Homo-oligomer: A and B are copies of this chain.
């Protein structure tokens, strides 16, 4: 880890550090149209792993994948009043197609509650068709004036789940299930990101929702990032799109719907939750390459040992990659550090003569001399240890930067470097307005024990206050 960093240090300018990492780790580039993003192969391989882990959990929760159109008639958006008001300023509109001006303008989907609502109404007949549990992986467009790669882009990739239920309790329970068993489980076990779970205050709800649950992660600069949200939509969209079912008594009844999403923004969160001045630090469960075998020099015995290690690691189901000994060793190490590969296995002629290789942890920099024969078992157990320790470390960091406060003024001060916890009773609408003047928001409301309340009217709720992305 010697040598000077090629990145702006986090403490000097965190946003610049983020830009540097995204560029130098070859994660993404800006697209030619304002706010769009090119996800490069390394960035995309991380997103692919995220998709696979989230998709498995979604299917386990019983939802099925489908695909709905990119284009939505403009009139659909207007059917739910709060929804159109929330999304209108961000829409991209197609006015010409096939060489002609269109009779009705088409919007590029900013989210799909409306078009999916239309088809739910068509497909649902009776209580036997409920719950209807759908998900789609898609791109959506929300025009961004201040875009930032992964965090806020005019086009982003995501999954959006949409479900319909016979009653409010079932809808609410399912949204909670997704929030805990899909999102929070993925964030904790795969990304090693601890979050504060809670509901958004009414002012921050999704446009058209009756309740929005969130997972708020803390980034290395102490700011909050909303990692995923799950919405109870009540009967708002069911009413707008006539999503009726015949209940067991034979009467027509309105459904209750939910929606829930997570996006390529998670890649930004992963970078900022774990990265350091040397680049990305990837938790082993999400790392596309878990171990890189580096030939210190391009020599025959070294190359043979490297090839054999790659084969051994493959048999142990470790995702590994070979770095042949060409070019400066120091430069290559720096590049692998920037890419955040969890484990480096350095194979040099001197160590090799003693039957040893060096294993270096990306997170702590700790270096071990390991006999060749023990590399697979050492790496397998080290990866699990690192996964666990990265989560524990991120939680300790978060907790150390979270302060219980008793006034709005203290909250403003605490939020300079992290999160403030203040009784929701002491905030209210007036408090929210005051926080906004300091560029702060109530990230979520939770019970004193950290659990998710049913609504914002419960007594004794705590507001988590922070700067955010």
Contact = CB atoms under 8 A, between A and B. Distances in A.
A122 B89 CA distance: 33
Nearest to A139: B70
B97 A95 contact: no
A98 B145 contact: yes
A142 B449 CA distance: 53
Interface in A39-89: 39-41, 44-45, 47-48, 64-73, 76, 88-89
Contact of A92 (B89, B90, B96): B96
Contact of A95 (B41, B91, B93): B93
A31 B112 CA distance: 12
Interface residues of A, number: 54
Contact of A98 (B31, B66, B90, B96): B90
B141 A31 contact: no
Contacts of A73: 32-33
A114 to B, nearest CB: 9
Interface string A116-156: 00110010000000000010001101011100000000110
A93 B105 CA distance: 11
A441 interface: no
B65 A41 contact: yes
B69 A33 contact: yes
B38 A70 contact: no
A24 B434 CA distance: 57
B71 A38 contact: no
A99 B76 CA distance: 17
A94 interface: yes
Given A29-B119, A37-B69, A65-B44, A97 B91 contact: yes
Contact of A38 (B44, B67, B89, B105): B67
B96 A38 contact: no
A106 interface: yes
A211 interface: no
Given A89-B99, A92-B94, A32 B118 contact: yes
Contact of A69 (B32, B76, B134): B32
Contacts of A141: 70-71
**Best-surrounded residue of A33, A134, A143 (most CB of chain B within 10 A):** A33
A305 interface: no
Nearest to A63: B41
Nearest to A30: B69
Contacts of A106: 33, 92
A259 B37 CA distance: 21
B41 A64 contact: yes
Contacts of A44: 64-67
B143 A36 contact: no
A282 to B, nearest CB: 17
Contacts of A144: 98
A92 B144 CA distance: 21
A115 interface: yes
Nearest to A132: B41
Contact of A32 (B40, B115, B157): B115
Contacts of A72: 32-33
A108 interface: yes
A88 B99 contact: yes
Interface of A: 29, 31-33, 36-41, 44-45, 47-48, 64-73, 76, 88-99, 105-106, 108, 115, 118-119, 122, 134, 138-139, 141, 143-145, 154-155, 157
13 contacts: A31-B68, A32-B69, A33-B71, A33-B72, A36-B71, A44-B66, A44-B67, A45-B65, A69-B155, A92-B96, A94-B94, A98-B145, A138-B139
Nearest 9 A-B pairs (CB), nearest first?
A: A98-B143, A36-B69, A41-B64, A31-B69, A39-B67, A92-B97, A33-B71, A93-B96, A97-B143
Given A31-B68, A92-B106, A99-B143, 12 more contacts: A31-B69, A32-B118, A40-B66, A45-B65, A70-B141, A70-B155, A71-B154, A71-B155, A91-B99, A92-B96, A92-B97, A108-B108
